[in-house]
Amino acid sequence: MHTTVGIIGAGPAGLLLARLLHRAGIDSVVLESRDRDYVEQRQRAGILEQATVDALRAAGAGGRLDAEGIPHDGIELRHGGRATRIDFPGLTGGRRVWVYAQTEVVKDLVALQLAEGGPLHFEAEVTAVHGADTDRPTIRYTHQGRERILSCDYVVGCDGFHGVTRQAVPAAERRTHERVYPYSWLGILADAPPVYDELIYAHSERGFALASMRSPSVSRLYLQVPNGTDPADWPDERIWDELDARLALRDTAGARLHRGPVTQKSVLPMRSSVTEPMRWGRVFLAGDAAHIVPPTGAKGLNLAAADVIVLARAFAHHRATGSTELLDAYSDTCLRRVWRAEHFSYFMTTTLHTDPGQSGFETRLQLSQLDRIADSRHAATELAENYTGLPLDPV
Ligand code: RFL
Ligand code: PHB
């Protein structure tokens, strides 16, 4: 079997890339190790930047997003008894973000791909990528109990943080820069109306808390917990009591923690990681396969989308002109945005969480930084521009 672009992984990066290539008349095959149900139910991101929304629309996947996605024009930051609204359009010249769950993005893209795209194989586990520095790289995978080979003009690893494609870049040429944080998030989904009509990010001496949402009747809530926490140690009432204490909502009009049935509970560790370069020969890395961020800046899914927008455009340019200029620039182009998002995610994480070994000095620095954001339009603008994302050229 042969294809132009072999795509490993059917997360947001792989699925969006397949759609954008299809639109550009370039054929591809997507190989995904998990089954469809698993991929569609995996609870993850919730915030889409303008550029991500534009790309989904351009990929033909904007219908349900436009009907059900909730535009957000700000977030609230809480610290030391203060509540600060960050007004996105007012500070950025009109930019905003959307609440639309990653599960829904994936469902929309899978349905489109199966209806009118190239092959998308679930339960097709890739074991190795060979020949990155040749004209015909190959993907070795197992499907329906048989070992198979897919030969490609190009291979794109969209196989997430634990994927295998990274190994196709020789170890001597690959650099990984990493930071692991001394805390995790306990995340829940609850059948309860959202705490507030915007997201609330709360600094507290008890640890960070975040109140997000999935719909007008479903809340998504997070608590900072120690690494290694067992969710079983957090019965529902303990979670609600802790959210109550950390969010400290008393003085925000209209904000209220509604307790309801908890339908999902999990612990996620936090890490920053970047692998460079993002391209070796005819193998490209995109999304979490190349970089991950702690979720505090809501950047992971948006970075994955930005990578494949840049890459799809480079493939289309190559097809139209024969020039490899944009493909050659792919890694450098993406890494500039990636490192900006890494910095912002690190900043949000270390400013809002309480490190277990943190001194009073460090806590005062955090509070001073949060005061600065509350008091200075300049500091708030810096946050708003980063949160809503750097503009991308139109798809
Ligand atoms: P994914 O989604 O991990 O998809 C990779 C796919 O590759 C498959 N795979 C393989 N397939 C074949 N053969 C193999 N050998 C394979 N190995 C792996 C996997 O099964 C999977 O289907 O990566 P992708 O597409 O790069 O997308 C990245 C995003 O999923 C991730 O960055 C975000 O979810 C991060 N993130 C957030 N990002 C945001 O932009 N905004 C947010 O609000 C936000 N919140 C979050 C988040 C991530 C979270 N978790 C769970 C880490 C909140 C959370 C809780
Ligand atoms: C979410 O809704 O899952 C979410 C929102 C904002 C974040 C992280 C996660 O920063």
> What's the rounded Cα separation, in Å, for the pair 342 and 292?
8
Query: Residue 44 CA: which ligand 2 atom is closest?
Result: 3
DSSP at 279:
E
CA-nearest residue, atom 7 of ligand 2:
298
**Tally of CA atoms within 13 A in the half-sphere of 391 that contains its CB:** 7
Mutational pocket test of ligand 1: of 38, 44, 70, 214, the residue with most ligand atoms within 8 Å of the beta carbon: 44
**Side chain identity at 209, as an amino acid letter?**
A
> What residue spans define the domains of the chain?
2-52+101-179+271-356
Q: 194: Cβ below 6 Å to ligand 1?
A: no
Residue 392 has pLDDT above 80, yes or no: no
Q: 325: CA distance to ligand 2 center in Å?
A: 36
Query: Residue 43 CA: which ligand 2 atom is closest?
Result: 3
Catalytic residue among 299, 318, 330, 353: 299
Residue 247 near residue 202, CB atoms below 8 Å: yes
> What's the rounded Cα separation, in Å, for the pair 302 and 41?
19
Q: 141: CA distance to ligand 1 center in Å?
A: 20
Q: What's the pLDDT at 100?
A: 96
**What mean pLDDT is predicted for residues 307-321?**
98
Task: Mention every residue, 6+ apart, whose C-beta is less than 8 A from residue 312.
Answer: 17, 20, 21, 24, 395
- 72 as an active site residue: the answer is yes
> Which of the four pLDDT bands, split at 50, 70 and 90, describes residue 43?
confident
Least confident of 120-134, 248-262, 298-312: 248-262
SS3 158: coil
Tokens of 50: 């303008």
Q: 117: Cβ below 6 Å to ligand 1?
A: no
- How far apart are the two ends of the chain, measured CA to CA in Å? 30
Q: 307: CA distance to ligand 2 center in Å?
A: 20
Q: 262: Cβ below 6 Å to ligand 2?
A: no
Q: 46: Cβ below 6 Å to ligand 2?
A: yes
pTM for the structure as a whole: 0.96
> What's the rounded Cα separation, in Å, for the pair 236 and 229?
15
> What's the rounded Cα separation, in Å, for the pair 334 and 49?
16
Q: What's the pLDDT at 393?
A: 65
Q: 348: Cβ below 6 Å to ligand 2?
A: no
Point out the ligand nearest to the CA of residue 43. 1
Q: 6: Cβ below 6 Å to ligand 1?
A: no
**Rounded to the nearest 5°, which phi and psi values hold at 364?**
-65, -40
- Average pLDDT score, the chain: 96
> Which of the four pLDDT bands, split at 50, 70 and 90, describes residue 219?
very high
Residue 395 has pLDDT above 60, yes or no: no
CA-nearest residue, atom 37 of ligand 1:
45
**What mean pLDDT is predicted for residues 113-140?**
97
> What's the rounded Cα separation, in Å, for the pair 93 and 96?
10
Residue 302 near residue 48, CB atoms below 8 Å: yes
Q: 72: Cβ below 6 Å to ligand 2?
A: no
What is the CATH topology of the domain spanning 2-52+101-179+271-356?
A: FAD/NAD(P)-binding domain (3.50.50)
Q: How far is CA 257 from CA 161, 194, 216, 219, 310, in A?
A: 34, 8, 14, 10, 41
> Which of the four pLDDT bands, split at 50, 70 and 90, describes residue 196?
very high
- 265 as an active site residue: the answer is no
- 295 as an active site residue: the answer is yes
- 299 as an active site residue: the answer is yes
